[in-house]
Structure 1
Amino acid sequence: MSDTSSTLDKAKLWLSETFDAETRTAVQTLIDSNSPDLEDSFYRELEFGTGGMRGVMGVGTNRLNKYTLGQATQGLANYLHQQFSGEEIKVAIAYDVRHNSKEFGKVVADVLTANGIKVLLFKNHRPTPELSFTVRDKKCNAGIVLTASHNPPEYNGYKVYWNDGAQIVPPDDENIIREVYSTKFENIKFDGNDDLIEWIGEDQDDVYVDACMENSLYQDVGRDNLNIVFTSIHGTTYTTVPKALKKAGFTKVDLVREQMIPSGNFPTVDSPNPEEPAALSMAMDLAEITNADIVIGTDPDGDRLGIAVRNLEGEIQLLNGNQCNTILTYYILDQWKKAGKITGKEFIGSTIVTSDIFFDVAEKFGVDCKVGLTGFKWIGKMIRDFEGQEKFICGGEESFGFMTGDFVRDKDSCGSILTACEIAAWCKANGTTVYQYMIDIYKEVGLYYEGLINVVRKGRTGAEEIQEMMKNFRENPPKEIAGSLVEEVKDFKEQTCFVVSKNEKKVMDDIPKSNVLIYYTQDGTKVCVRPSGTEPKIKFYVSVKDSISSEQDFVEKLPRLEQKIQLVKKDLNL
């Protein structure tokens, strides 16, 4: 049978009475029009990646809809009953501002309550980290958030959290997926019981904000003299961040009013991603009018944050994720050291695609730096694995995510924003800036600079092309990158590290298998190659380094490192 016939047969299954009339009509239209969307909608089942299940909304097995969500939730309900047999099971549910998120939240709640599971459902949009916090605060068995993070408006998604407040990891994730894929659409229980729903809202916001303050603030210096511009970029943090800033004593806060309106269309930006300078352009424009010291924006579900500060020329400049996390981590560890809280049994968390500067920072302060696969679920797992043995201080990854303390077990913009603003206020009170503070850190531990190169390949053929690219990089690794010989090739799929100069291959099984390659050159350049788990792209994370002894050194050497990243791009034919 051809692939086309197989796809058509899958689509025809959705014309049965199992599916509602609206769905059947939409599927029939795809079939009758011979739409190219038919194949992409049905050629596979939507997969769980590093961020859970995420995809374009619409009908079909490869789309986010009532039935794929229902199937995922029914599978989760089955697994919860297996794991917590005889107990009252509770699940917290939150959702972001995206189209259908609120409706999807109720669908998911209905499936759970139809299975006799109590649901704590937020009345309105709430950030993902508040959901993570609530799972632990309310002693829930699991949590669910409906979000597609910073993806385009046509996307939505579904992330599952376990009873520790962190995203699911092995073996729970694999066991849940097994239950999901063994669930037939006709066996999904959609007839919910509203008596099992407890609605939560502003009271929970207050508890969460108080926890953010307790875990993220260290010294009260100059908070009433810091000029802040904040934007939620139409996302969920309109419910928490302004409240947290006010409660913490930051009185000079200007909001980008047009972007504080929640909207799944994200009407003022092409992409609601604070990693991209364009997403913060309105906030940066406002900063020029208000003479702001710091600009902060968050993504739709409020876990990522972008920070812009004034550079050496006094212009507002967006920092990259590694720069933000370097500043936050160094400051927090410095505060811990000054308070005498570092005993040698503490650690920070990072990921394999994040800058290696965090090893140097950790060493300076006498703490461990643990590294996991991409995604905060692995940092959450570190906290759980070492609970009672080592104290987690903070953690971050390059994609604009950071967490302060372990009260939230996922990246958390609210707590991170409070720390960032405290740093900015402290710098201003001492006659310096956040940017100069960053340069001082680089003088201590080395100047690192990073670049991210995305190669987008959409659809079925795109997925195949990405697989072929990974195969080629694995079988034919580059011998030289940017003028420096490749010294190490780490293959996390094969769990091996090949040392070129010794012609020696070592086993590397301390991190779970993943389709990721990392090349290290003799001059410390690092290139990580990884297919995205949630988007149709293959990512190249590049890190280059040098040493500096002065501000002038920084000014001269940073452009050279930027040029080196372009050379890496050229050498890899990207």
Structure 2
Amino acid sequence: MVINFGTDGWRAIIADQFTFENVAICTNATLDYLKQNGLNNKGIAIGYDTRFHSDKFAKLVATLASNSNFKTFLFDRPSPTPVLSHYVVSNHLDAGIMITASHNPPDWNGFKIKTNLGSSAPQSMIEKIQKRIDKLVETNTKFPTSINLTNNLIKFINPEIKYIEHINSIIDLDIIKSTNLKVIVDSMYGSGQGYFKKLLSGGNIELIELNGTENPAFPNIKQPEPTEENLKILSGFIKHNNASIGLATDGDADRLGIVDSNGKFISALDLFMLLCFHQLDILGKKGHIIRSITMTSKIDELAKLYGVSTIITPIGFKYLAPKMIESNALIAGEESGGYAYGFHIPERDGILSGLMILDLIVKSQKNVDELINILHTKVTPLIYERKDIHIDPSEKQKFAPDVLKQSAPKSIANLEVINVETLDGIRYQLENNSWGLIRCSGTEPLVRIYAEATTKSKVNSILDSLQKICSK
């Protein structure tokens, strides 16, 4: 039995590795860490998404937490991860635990830990919890898995109210609601369903929600991840209904994907560029920008134009969040579609990011495609693509950065390799602002290959070359 925390928590297939017994192990290891660090006085919040048995796993966590004398705030409905993070911060709690596999396929579930700052648990914290888990597994320690919610330390909470009040305090929703925008929201059967309607009701704006019911099978989509492949229905709906924009949140609503008024999917990299432009230009704010190593280098160019700096981190908000806090950053983003704001919480929020895009459209009086065209006159118009290669977990070692670096080529796709970095995976900096990267996923049995270049054909050539490196 293996329980390994990856990019953001532990994820596994339900009834295979993700069992009540293993959730109990993770819970007790987390509670032990919190006790040892004096984080057992103010309470712990527990949330869950719409996946199969997520509510039951959350109730088990609540049972174990209350039995360990933790004040336990158990959500009474499926909720987005950023709502959990906000609840922890606004109520000054010690930590949060979220039962979710985020964007993974339907047969997966997961266990995320949030700090008292609302952020993903940093690597230093995860390593200590992982050691406790390993010891419990090694000694075959068993914990009770029966659910009992009668403990007086357990309180059932509706977390929506405080979150919606907070969002209203940081963005002028009345301006958005007063417009004649036609917005299509795809909630992807996830825990973000209903939030945009509640936040934007009572005005002129027309809002239609797709996939706004609970269905843990996530029908008609490969997985609840707002990628181009999974948003084809949203794209077609926009074109046939003459909509202004489409917004899509993933399974736990911490990520955002968008489709423009022409039905074209906008990459997460261009979306982050729009969000940065909104903060820097439209709102006139200043501050550091935090980006992951796989985020577009166009962000660096944009930052220079507005006199701010970028800080680059490995992938995962367990790395981005500490840098946000340390540098008092304005905004942070990663290639997978997660964006966070220094004036909110140091955690991704797909709902707030969707509202920010609507605010950008309203205040600039321009559509998304017009805004991207304007930005591409300011920065190099690079094109990006990512491919996922399924592997056997036992093969991971052959893709280790140190292994790949030993045989690093001098050129890739006839472009000179200028530099090789191993901050996260192996990144080949190429001539003409191009780059390619190979990295094992921290949440799934995949090797991801990335490329960014000035033309689609160059991107394809880089990806082909990276795939050949992976197949050796």
1:91-130 superposed matches below 5 A: 91-130=44-83
Which residues of structure 2 form unaligned runs of 5+? none
Distance 1:526 1:127 in 2: 34
User: Equivalent of 1:374, from 276, 299, 315?
Assistant: 315
Distance 2:245 2:170 in 1: 21
What SS is found at the alignment partner of 1:269?
Answer: coil
Which residues of structure 1 form unaligned runs of 5+? 1-41, 493-513, 546-560
1:7 aligned residue: none
Q: 1:274–1:298: 8 Å Cα contact kept in structure 2?
A: yes
Q: 2:449–2:466: 8 Å Cα contact kept in structure 1?
A: no
Query: Residues 77, 448 of structure 1: CA spacing in aligned structure 2 closer, same or farther, 3 A cutoff?
Result: same
Q: Which moved more, 1:204-213 or 1:394-403?
A: 204-213
The CA deviation at 1:472 is 5.1
Query: Residues 394, 250 of structure 1: CA spacing in aligned structure 2 closer, same or farther, 3 A cutoff?
Result: farther
Q: 1:126–1:239: 8 Å Cα contact kept in structure 2?
A: no
User: Equivalent of 2:340, from 366, 380, 403?
Assistant: 403
The CA deviation at 1:383 is 2.5
Distance 1:250 1:82 in 2: 53
Residue 350 of structure 2 corresponds to residue 413 of structure 1 = yes
1:318-337 superposed matches below 5 A: 318-337=265-284
User: Equivalent of 1:563, from 426, 436, 457?
Assistant: 457
The CA deviation at 1:411 is 0.9
The CA deviation at 1:307 is 0.1
> Which residue identity lines up with residue 143 of structure 1 in the other structure?
G
What SS is found at the alignment partner of 1:182?
Answer: helix
Query: Residues 47, 221 of structure 1: CA spacing in aligned structure 2 closer, same or farther, 3 A cutoff?
Result: closer
Identity %: 25
Distance 2:34 2:378 in 1: 49
The CA deviation at 1:54 is 0.3
Would you say how many aligned residue pairs link Structure 1 and Structure 2? Answer: 463
User: Equivalent of 2:251, from 300, 306, 312?
Assistant: 300
Residue 455 of structure 2 corresponds to residue 524 of structure 1 = no
1:6 aligned residue: none
Distance 1:181 1:231 in 2: 39
The CA deviation at 1:217 is 4.7
> Which residue identity lines up with residue 198 of structure 1 in the other structure?
K
User: Equivalent of 1:263, from 197, 201, 215?
Assistant: 215
* TM-score normalised by the chain length of structure 2: 0.93
List per-residue Cα deviations over 1:341-397 (Å, max 9, x = no partner): 53xxx21211111111111111111122112110122221112223xxxx3211111
Distance 1:422 1:93 in 2: 31
- Aligned CA-pair RMSD: 2.1
The CA deviation at 1:89 is 4.1
The CA deviation at 1:447 is 1.0
Query: Residues 91, 478 of structure 1: CA spacing in aligned structure 2 closer, same or farther, 3 A cutoff?
Result: same
1:488 aligned residue: 419
2:236 aligned residue: 285
1:83-482 superposed matches below 5 A: 83-84=37-38, 88-183=41-136, 184=139, 186=141, 188=143, 190=145, 194-201=151-158, 204-217=159-172, 220=175, 223-246=178-201, 249=203, 251-256=205-210, 259-277=211-229, 279-310=230-261, 315-337=262-284, 341-342=285-286, 346-386=287-327, 391-427=328-364, 430=365, 432-457=366-391, 462-470=392-400, 473-482=404-413
> Which residue identity lines up with residue 292 of structure 1 in the other structure?
A
Distance 1:382 1:232 in 2: 30
Distance 1:380 1:434 in 2: 28
List per-residue Cα deviations over 1:47-69 (Å, max 9, x = no partner): 0001110011124xxx0111111
List per-residue Cα deviations over 1:497-556 (Å, max 9, x = no partner): xxxxxxxxxxxxxxxxx5x111111222111211000000011121114xxxxxxxxxxx
> Which residue identity lines up with residue 330 of structure 2 in the other structure?
I
The CA deviation at 1:190 is 4.8
Distance 2:57 2:127 in 1: 23
The CA deviation at 1:486 is 0.4
The CA deviation at 1:490 is 0.9
Distance 1:127 1:304 in 2: 10
Distance 2:224 2:67 in 1: 35
Q: 2:254–2:348: 8 Å Cα contact kept in structure 1?
A: yes
The CA deviation at 1:403 is 2.0
Q: 2:419–2:430: 8 Å Cα contact kept in structure 1?
A: yes
The CA deviation at 1:98 is 0.4
Q: Which of the two has higher C-alpha Rg?
A: 1
Distance 1:380 1:93 in 2: 20
